Amino acid sequence: MEDEKIIDLFFKRSENAITELSQKYGQLCMTVSVNILGNTEDAEECVNDSYLGIWNAIPPHKPDNLTAFLCRIVRNLSLKRCSHNSAEKRKSNYGVCIDELDECLPSENTVESELELNELSGTLDNFISQLDKTNRFLFVRRYWFMDSYESLSKATGIKEQAIRTRLSRIRSNLKKFLAEQGVF
């Protein structure tokens, strides 16, 4: 079923909206959540919670891109669960991915940094848009979807070590780019 029809079902408050959404995007949602949490049971809970979240969000919102809207809800709920789990000293793929980016991105939790977040987001979008298609795919799948090196290797046919090297170079270039843009 097309996204517009699914959104219309949400506006009509039809329970079929959740069924259609789950059939079309359930596996994607599970992948995003499992990549962050590393735990199928927690991921299933987050995905189910995301269905409730999207039920409550549509209406009044009418997303332009249903996939991105849903993935953002799943990702945010999974990150909250990951934060909760890490308080209990559990380790996830999310923590590993974020550790890789630590040297590139400043992390000051101040009011000023929150105001600068939109500018940083635009700067990151600019950097990512300059990457070639394969490097952009690797970067986004690793640091947004939290894909493992193994899954990236299967998806692209590139050896895991080559992916690690590429991502290391991309992070290095990102650090230089951010410095040139005055982020540091």
Do 82 and 100 lie in one domain? The reply is no
Distance between CA atoms of 107 and 130, rounded to whole angstroms?
24
Same domain, 105 and 70: no
Q: How many Å apart are CA 79 and CA 50, to the nearest integer?
A: 12
Residue 181: pLDDT band with limits 50, 70, 90: confident
Instruction: Quickly state the pLDDT bin for 1 (edges 50, 70, 90).
Output: confident
Choose one of 38, 58, 87: the last residue of a domain: 87
- Can you give the residue range of the structural domain that contains 173? 96-180
CATH number, domain at 51?
1.10.1740.10
Q: What is the pLDDT of residues 10-33, one digit of tens each?
A: 999 998 999 999 999 999 999 999
CA atoms within 13 A on the CB side of 152: 27
| Three-state SS sequence of the chain | CCHHHHHHHHHCCCCHHHHHHHHHHHHHHHHHHHHHHCCHHHHHHHHHHHHHHHHHHCCCCCCCCHHHHHHHHHHHHHHHHHHHHHHCCCCCHHHHHHHHHCCCCCCCCCHHHHHHHHHHHHHHHHHHHHCCHHHHHHHHHHHCCCCCHHHHHHHHCCCHHHHHHHHHHHHHHHHHHHHHCCCC
11 and 82 both lie in a single domain: yes
pLDDT digits (tens, 9 = 90+) for 67-77: 989 998 999 89
Q: Are residues 79 and 127 in the same domain?
A: no
Of residues 99 and 86, which shows the higher confidence score?
Answer: 86
Going by C-beta distance under 8 Å and a sequence separation of 6 or more, which residues neighbour residue 129?
136
pLDDT, tens digit (0-9, with 9 covering 90-100), for 150-170: 999 999 999 999 999 999 999
CATH classification at residue 152: 1.10.10.10
